[in-house]
Amino acid sequence: MPKRITLIPGDGIGPEVTAATVQLLEAAGADLEWEEVEAGLEVVSKYGKPLPDQVLESIRKNKVALKGPLTTAVATGFPSANVELRQSLKLYASLRPVTNVPGIESRFGDVDVIIVRENTEGLYSGLEQTITAGVTQSLKIITREASARIAHFAFEYANKWNRKKVTTAHKANILKVSDGLFLKTCQEVAREYPDILHEEIIVDNLALQLVINPQQFDVLLTTNLYGDIVSDLCAGLVGGLGLVPGANIGKEYAVFEAVHGSAPDIAGKNKANPLAVFFSSLLMLEYLHMEDTAKRIRKAIYRVTNKGAVLTPDLGGSASTTEFTEAVIQELE
Ligand code: NAI
């Protein structure tokens, strides 16, 4: 029986890059079938909201989803459907491996950072209000429970993948109570893993260190907002947002998606880089214990990137999404 996956094409470049991914996985013979559901800003007029109930129902049934980006209006409109999805399904860990892709020129080589971002609370708790005209408030929620859960996730990940160091990034010098609790909890959890080095860094210094010497970092553990910002920064180290995959993982469900957004500036032009979703789908195959298929696809991708002849414009090439996808399929063994 093929494994059924919820497919959310999403907004902007989402339908292009997810369709390319399905085409690649099918060409590779991955034993999957797809249940497609609509979500995003573009379907609000149809369903009255960006995250229709059937999306959550489908993921609850299938347990695993591959997702394109969803647009969130800036400073107005609906709360983020991405945040709602992660909170509703308790996808507490956002995992974002940032590594160089063979053949792709970038500012730094030998980058191999795993970002582990708390995905359910912090400043993304959605608790905001205008107290009186010109005075607003956003609540940053940090709990011991969620902090311990994400810290365990980071250390367990490090253990499993033979990583040597976890660095907790925080701003506990200023946010002594909330980030203070996050940091203290991470320190407590770290003591349970004496074989893994635990370091701490204030998040502004992290930004500096990442653009000077990113190779010093191994697993980065941090809160929701810092993790979001640092993910884009790290993508810039290795060649851009078109390359970095992500996984949102909870106890029961997992949703795989790129770090990038809906890229409205290039949507519908067949020039988006599908690699970030390709790599996200490989994380999904590994999660589903389909490692062999993941390995074959990764090999085919690396052959194409190493040759460098067929690349999308963000990587300095002139190939379309479709041409790049076909080039990878040609290299499948
Ligand atoms: P973005 O990631 O969509 O785009 C930033 C820049 O990177 C743009 O110049 C874009 O063209 C480029 N880019 C992104 N992905 C690319 C790809 N695959 N290939 C080539 N170039 C690529 O970020 P932005 O503009 O801040 O956000 C646009 C919308 O996406 C917003 O509504 C935001 O809320 C949403 N968003 C959704 C996410 C999700 O669904 N997980 C994550 C991040 C943003």
Q: Considering only CA atoms, which of 304, 297, 299, 253 is closest in space to residue 278?
A: 297
Ligand 1: residue whose CA is nearest its atom 40: 69
Annotation says 171 is catalytic = yes
Taking domain 1-99+240-333, whether its CATH number is 3.30.70.260 is answered by no
- pLDDT (tens digit, 9 = 90+) per residue, 260-314? 999 999 999 999 999 999 999 999 999 999 999 999 999 999 999 999 999 999 9
Cα-to-centroid distance, 257 and ligand 1 (Å): 12
Give the percent of the chain with pLDDT over 70.
100
Average pLDDT score over residue span 23-38: 98
Contact 284, 22 (CB under 8 A): no
Q: What is the pLDDT at residue 167?
A: 99
Q: What is the pLDDT at residue 272?
A: 98
Quick one: which atom of ligand 1 is closest to the CA of 266? 11
CATH number of 106-223+233-238: 3.40.718.10
Spell out the domain ranges in the chain. 1-99+240-333, 106-223+233-238
- Most ligand 1 atoms within 8 A of CB, residue of 17, 262, 265 to mutate: 262
- pLDDT (tens digit, 9 = 90+) per residue, 202-225? 999 999 999 999 999 999 999 999
Q: Which of 171, 179, 226, 253 is catalytic?
A: 171
Q: Which of 112, 232, 287, 302 is catalytic?
A: 232
Quick one: which atom of ligand 1 is closest to the CA of 17? 18
Q: What is the pLDDT at residue 126?
A: 87
Average pLDDT, the chain: 97
- Most ligand 1 atoms within 8 A of CB, residue of 241, 256, 259 to mutate: 241
* 272 in contact with ligand 1, CB cutoff 6 A: yes
Ligand 1: residue whose CA is nearest its atom 38: 261
pTM above the 0.95 mark? yes
Contact 32, 25 (CB under 8 A): yes
Q: Which of 11, 179, 218, 228 is catalytic?
A: 228
Q: What is the pLDDT at residue 185?
A: 98
- Whether 106-223+233-238 and 1-99+240-333 are alike in CATH topology: the answer is yes
* 326 in contact with ligand 1, CB cutoff 6 A: no
- pLDDT (tens digit, 9 = 90+) per residue, 104-114? 999 999 999 99
Mapping DSSP onto H, E and C, the string for the chain reads: CCEEEEEECCCCCHHHHHHHHHHHHHHCCCCEEEEECCCCHHHHHHHCCCCCHHHHHHHHHHCEEEECCCCCCCCCCCCCHHHHHHHHCCCCEEEEEEECCCCCCCCCCCCEEEEEEECCCECCCCCEEEEECCEEEECCECCHHHHHHHHHHHHHHHHHCCCCEEEEEECCCCCCCHHHHHHHHHHHHHCCCCCCEEEEEEHHHHHHHHHHCHHHCCEEEECHHHHHHHHHHHHHHHCCHHHCEEEEECCCCEEEEECCCCCCCCCCCCCCCCHHHHHHHHHHHHHCCCHHHHHHHHHHHHHHHHHCCCCCHHHCCCCCHHHHHHHHHHCCC
| Helix, strand, or coil (residue 25) | helix
* 72 in contact with ligand 1, CB cutoff 6 A: yes
